[in-house]
Amino acid sequence: MPAPKSFQRIWILITASLLVCLAGVTRGQEASKVAPAGKAAPAPAPVAKAPAKQYAEVTLPDPGAWKPLRAKLFERGEPENDAEMKIFIDHYKSLASELTQHSTAGKLSEQGEKIAKVRVQIKTDLLNLARKKSTILHDALVDQLARVLPSIFSSDKYHPVTRINCLLLYGDLNSKEGDTTLVPLATAYPVMMKIFTNATQPAYLRCVALVGIARHAEIGLPPENRKELGAEMIKVLKTPPPGFKPEVVTYLRFRAVDVLRSVIAKGESGSRDIAEALKAVVLNKNKSEDVSLELRCEALRAIGGLDAKAIDPADIPLLAQAAAKLAVDIAQQSAPPAQPEDDAESPSAAGRVPAPAPNNGGNVLLSATDDSAAPTPEGEAASAAADAAPVGKPSGVLDPDIQTYLFGCIQIGLNGVDSKRGLAAAAKDDSKKLVVEITTKLNDMLRITKPKARFYKLSEEEIDKINKTVEELEPLAGA
């Protein structure tokens, strides 16, 4: 089940980390002096700004004869002679050099946009070359980039925007690619792991390295790499790297669960160590504020990929109760669909459902009232809180798309990705009954709440059913 756009956190966290990195401009200030009695105090010395760090740029070569040759090379997929190959390589040397041209782009947002376009262009060209009968040019370009990019992203003399984009491109390199084939560049994985596990590397670079690592894990890694990566992600869940800001720790934990889910799917579904780490996140016995409701749902989803033998039977009632409690919490933090900007006379405006207050104290998920066509101050505040809340933090209210996604995560954890995995496959006797009962009630709720359109209105009967289901789930959630 693909995550909605609300869960595409990577650029939010990378941008936050990047701004933290760029914000470290120091200022010097002379100490003030006490004037002798009877004399006026001297004027304060001006504040001296530390000079901005100067980052390196690679000189752009002359594009030469590339334009008239490009169409021919992309049609053939191979050069006719050494001269054409040289023109080809020189062109992409030029593009790679453009990744370092930070000072010509102006504002930070413009820098990132310009450099990102170059990165996307190179990726597109690689894919187009890979689709040709001959992959000589594709392989030559991958080899060239694999040698050039590490020299840029590994050096602090280059701008952070440059280093981020070079590392992202490096993590996307494939030795084989096309419409049906995808084989990541194997030599890139150990380089990215070295960056991620190096505590001296800046936080933003370690986060970006984990993006590439996650991609390799999702597509497939050798068994020895899977075990190594699984152990590293367990460390992140148990003890996040010290010195990172809270938003970076939040990102790392979410990504660690994503990576573990891929590791499970690709061959480590019987790992008891992974099962224990995910269980600790779902149960959150220490009530850590860093472990959000959303993260716990993601961890439960990952448990749905575990073999039944990897799940301790004694843990099943606890995990099932946690699933019920998560469902109740999600229902009580639900916001209505986004309010349209049209007038109150329109059909979609008439279908609005008023939002509960952000800190909804009772079990009432929604209420049907005569003035449901009009947005309330409480509803507007709830929507604003949901929009402004940092990803990964409990917001008080949840967008309907996120609510549906989180319910789906719980379903996968309970039912498993197939009949041999998840809590249902591992449960027996009373535990089995508990899992089945919770799953049934969750399914009943989802049949009502999952909207077929962005704007919809629930009847009083449907609302009563939802609230009754929430009340029935609460006892199943245990203490």
CA gap 247, 13 in Å, rounded: 7
CA gap 327, 403 in Å, rounded: 9
Q: Give Cβ neighbours of residue 117 (< 8 Å, ≥ 6 apart).
A: none
The 10 Å Cβ neighbour count of residue 36 is: 8
Domain spans in the chain, listed from the N-terminal domain onward: 54-181, 330-476
Global pTM? 0.74
CA gap 42, 280 in Å, rounded: 62
Helix ranges (DSSP H) in 23-81: 66-76
CA gap 188, 17 in Å, rounded: 23
Q: Is 127 helix (H, G, I), strand (E, B) or coil?
A: helix
- C-alpha angle 78-83-85 in degrees, rounded to nearest 5: 35
Can you give the pLDDT at residue 143? Answer: 95
> In the structure, how many helices (H) and strands (E) does the chain have?
19, 4
Tell me the CA distances in angstroms from 256 to 18, 177, 421, one per residue in order: 20, 26, 20
- C-alpha angle 97-98-100 in degrees, rounded to nearest 5: 75
- Closest by CA position to 91, among listed 112, 121, 46: 121
Q: How far separated are the first and last CA of the chain, in Å rounded?
A: 31
Got the DSSP string for 136-151? HHHHHHHHHHHHHHHH
- Closest by CA position to 294, among listed 46, 7, 48: 7
- C-alpha angle 201-206-210 in degrees, rounded to nearest 5: 155
CA gap 92, 365 in Å, rounded: 56
The type of residue at 446 is L
Residues 312-327 as b/e (b if ≥16 CB within 10 A, e otherwise) read eeebbbbbbbbbbbbb
CA gap 346, 325 in Å, rounded: 38
Residue given tokens 């049209």 in the structure block: 342
Mean pLDDT per 10-residue section of the chain, whose length is 479 residues: 48 44 35 42 52 64 73 90 90 81 57 82 93 92 94 90 91 91 95 94 93 95 93 92 84 94 94 96 86 94 96 95 91 58 37 30 33 34 34 51 87 94 94 92 77 56 79 80
Can you give the pLDDT at residue 383? Answer: 36
CA gap 331, 365 in Å, rounded: 6
CA gap 356, 382 in Å, rounded: 7
CA gap 233, 254 in Å, rounded: 10
Residue 201 backbone class (left: φ over 0; alpha: ψ -120 to 50; beta: rest)? beta
